[in-house]
Amino acid sequence: MKLTSNIIKGMGFGTETRQIDKREQPSPAATSKTAGPLSDLSQIGRHRKLVKARPPRPAISSLVLSTARLVGVPTSREKLAGGLEAPPKKPSSSSEKYQTVGMRKTGLEKDLNNALVGSAVPYLSEKESAKFLVQVKDGHLYQEASGEMERLSTKGATNPADHYLFVMDGRGRVFAAPSRKVTHHSAFLSGNPVAAAGSFKVEEGRIVAITDQSGHYAPPREYSGQFVKEMKRKKADMSTVDLDYMGSSKKDIKKASKTLGVSFERLYPDGPKKQNY
């Protein structure tokens, strides 16, 4: 999607570059010759060259690719600036059965800033995220591991953090991982909109608690309801689930936003949108 140049500048690239080496800043004349999303992406490319002497950051390229998707770079297999390839197209919205909500702009800024300080969280490709796909069988949650189906569990060595981060896409597919493996919700779908996001606890494959806590997406309560609906549709055992929702409903958030005169910028494949929830 076409993010404006001031959004990219707001992510801290300009300030960081000046601190590294003022001599390598592009001249005003050179800057004026570039415009649009590709010029913004090239700023990211130049920044990567300036920090080349720093410790290696293998995940930064995947973040740049995902940023390319968000700033509206064509999603064909043509080459991008710096020899990078565009990511695959997102599935058509016509196949989605649930409403989705975009990531807040502050979430993308956080991901990019984390990359700049050497603690990047890789955005996963479709192939990479597939290993975190959750399946339901006989009321229990499973994931495929080493060619076999294993029950999810927050007890024991499988998950010392005691919870799984999860997202659900518009098609009802659920992806989950221990927070020690995937630390941000944005990683699962490469920053794309989600139908639900939060965390859950599960004992021997049975969900026992669900939260809607996600700083990147901050989903209103209705989206968590979609996740519960999909789990019931797949016949997951929801008989003893503790729902711990922190988010308010769209109606209440809109009312509060109107009172305070504020809005939130959320990111979608067709462009950023200011929304009052």
pLDDT at 149 exceeding the cut of 60: yes
Per-residue pLDDT, 156: 64
Spatial CB neighbours of 175, under 8 Å, sequence gap ≥ 6:
129, 132, 133, 134, 166, 167, 168, 169, 188, 189
- Residue 97's φ and ψ, nearest 5 degrees, are -110, -5
Q: What pTM was estimated for this model as a whole?
A: 0.68
pLDDT at 71 exceeding the cut of 50: no
* Pick from 85, 78, 50, 35: nearest CA to 64: 85
The structural domains of the chain, with segments of one domain joined by +, span: 1-89, 93-277
Which tens digits make up the pLDDT trace of 72-86? 333 333 332 333 233
Per-residue pLDDT, 15: 37
Mean pLDDT value across the chain:
74
pLDDT at 142 exceeding the cut of 60: yes
Helix (H) or strand (E) holding 207: strand 206-211
Q: Which residue has the higher pLDDT, 20 or 62?
A: 62
Which tens digits make up the pLDDT trace of 166-181? 999 999 999 999 888 8
Which tens digits make up the pLDDT trace of 194-217? 999 999 999 999 999 999 999 999
Q: What percent of the chain has pLDDT over 90?
A: 52
Give CA 174 to chain center in angstroms.
Answer: 14
* Pick from 142, 122, 124, 121: nearest CA to 133: 142
